[in-house]
A and B are shown apart, each in its own frame.
Chain A
């Protein structure tokens, strides 16, 4: 399963590297979201500083919808997905690979985005270790839930509206925990024993496990 996961992740990332479809769409989108938030709240710069973590993770969550949609769409052309199965690639491996590929893309996006946030919102940032660790696990959780739900919603004409409806509630605990954990980190009051970080780890583990168990059922069905 793990080898298959690496193969699929490598394949997806190579496709993305060559086509640059996701990055060309997602990065501008994420920045637009950040800028629109700044517009909406620009009358009170202090508020903007205070809610910066929440806005950041909202931008990531919205962007992830585009990312996971693409990750599943890759396999739809020429029934590539069936091809993978016929080759005997483990469905759990496909899931983990896709989640990993989305994770890498989102994580890179976050690095760029955090620079944008500093410039646009100007929050005080401290506690880098907690910031990085919560970002890792939050992104894992969002990618796993996202790939799972994107596959669940695939094949529907209303997918563009259905996927957010399904994914946003499921990912909202992750969004909440990531926001709170970043708030703690920004306030500089927190250690690595942050309860929100623990929550993020639990969610990442749960979504990854559920996905690798159920993915074969979805593909088969």
Chain B
């Protein structure tokens, strides 16, 4: 992958000839070095992929984590994730009141924005807002639907044909 430089044709020269002469690496050594370096790159990327980040890119905190870090969060704005608890949803004039749950930790939510059309009980949501006391004041609801797709009228599906790609 590494080409010798233009004019660097002296591949027959030893790598460390006297200082006065141009020091040109033999092309084979050069190629080996290139592969070695690319190997480092691959390993580095591999480390990144496997070990590296885990959950460090915190797009949201789950309800249970948020309750745990309650003191540290103060009234900072962050994203909170949880499943909408069935039976807790009450529409208010401007938005909606409900509770979210994760790992059996419940958080009371007061929302002041219109919920999206997929908002419904038992669906996971991500809320943008902050704590005030023990109530989470949200000004945006985002629905985090799953990657599962199920036909609304299963009887219409003639054959189950779950092909893999």
Contact = CB atoms under 8 A, between A and B. Distances in A.
A129 B21 CA distance: 45
B48 A202 contact: yes
A205 B38 CA distance: 11
A87 interface: yes
A171 interface: no
Interface residues on A, range: 20 to 34
B45 A206 contact: yes
Nearest to B47: A202
A212 B8 CA distance: 17
Contacts of A220: 3-6
B52 A195 contact: yes
A206 B44 contact: yes
B58 to A, nearest CB: 9
B34 interface: yes
Interface in A117-134: none
A63 B155 CA distance: 63
Nearest to B1: A213
B54 A195 contact: yes
Interface in A189-221: 189, 195-196, 198-199, 202, 205-206, 209-210, 212-214, 216-217, 219-220
Contact of B34 (A87, A202, A213): A213
B40 to A, nearest CB: 5
A68 B44 CA distance: 25
B23 to A, nearest CB: 5
Q: Which of A82, A189, A213, A219 has the most CB of B within 10 A?
A: A213
Interface in A4-49: none
A97 interface: no
A52 to B, nearest CB: 15
Interface string B38-51: 10110011011000
A67 interface: no
A216 B34 CA distance: 11
- State the 10 A-B residue pairs at the shortest beta-carbon distance, nearest first: A88-B22, A195-B56, A209-B37, A85-B5, A202-B48, A209-B41, A213-B37, A205-B44, A220-B3, A209-B40
B40 A205 contact: yes
B24 interface: yes
Contacts, number: 69
Contacts of A115: none
Interface residues of B, number: 28
B2 interface: yes
B116 to A, nearest CB: 27
B7 A217 contact: no
B162 to A, nearest CB: 37
A91 interface: yes
Contacts of A69: none
B25 interface: yes
A110 interface: no
B48 A88 contact: no
A86 interface: yes
A210 B37 CA distance: 7
Contacts of A196: 56
B61 to A, nearest CB: 14
B44 A202 contact: yes
B22 A87 contact: yes
Q: Which of A92, A199, A214, A216 has the most CB of B within 10 A?
A: A216
